[in-house]
Chains A and B, each alone.
Chain A
């Protein structure tokens, strides 16, 4: 499975966009990029995933570079409740191993 690299921590002002980067330079063509977050003492929460194209849902947008070696998760209007550890995970397509391999993620602190 491809390895991901994320900054250890980031700050964001409440109401502003939070842009969380992830490097996955060894990603292969059939691997998806997943984002989860973990708010203190809760289970990981699914946010969004994508393969090649940019994706948007009610929580966030995912921008994947054309070479797929990096991606950015965008929370358009961060709130205090978005303070959490954000994990970028590369996962193979269906049929291969289904486990998620969590790294240490990025601790996003949203400041009032």
Chain B
């Protein structure tokens, strides 16, 4: 069964450094998402992306964050200058276009654990 893959599984970065988290969504999916989960807290929506542009973003997704689909397969999340509070699990998700008016579920990767020192 096709799945969303994320790399690396664990990223350790010094505060103030840039970090890029990578995701390969399921191949026929058109909608892409990033979520994060701080240890012990809820899964939080960051951003959704469709047709090469952001369709929605949360308050968390400030100017330090950006997303890109650089080619036909990858979907990346960049944090420009990391802060201690960016330490979290980051999950990528993808969804295919709705068929026949029905709803389609998002499918998640297993995440990247980002640790900021």
Contact = CB atoms under 8 A, between A and B. Distances in A.
Interface in A8-65: 32, 34, 38, 41-46, 49, 51
A98 B95 contact: yes
B106 A46 contact: yes
B98 interface: yes
A102 B93 CA distance: 14
Interface of B: 4, 31, 33, 35, 42-45, 48, 55-56, 58, 89, 91, 93, 95, 98, 101, 103-111
Contacts of A102: 42-44
Contacts of B108: 43-46
B43 A42 contact: no
Nearest to B55: A98
Nearest to B47: A99
A102 B38 CA distance: 13
Q: Please classify how large the interface on chain A is, using the bins under 10, 10 to 19, 20 to 34, 35 or more.
A: 20 to 34
Please report whether the interface of chain A is mostly helix, strand, loop or mixed according to DSSP.
loop
Main secondary structure on chain B at its contact with chain A? strand
A76 interface: no
Interface of A: 32, 34, 38, 41-46, 49, 51, 87, 91, 93-94, 97-104
Residue of B31, B103, B109 contacting most chain A CB atoms (<10 Å): B103
Contacts of A91: 103
B44 A100 contact: no
Contacts of A104: 42
Contacts of B101: 94
Nearest to B91: A43
A1 to B, nearest CB: 11
Contacts of A101: 45
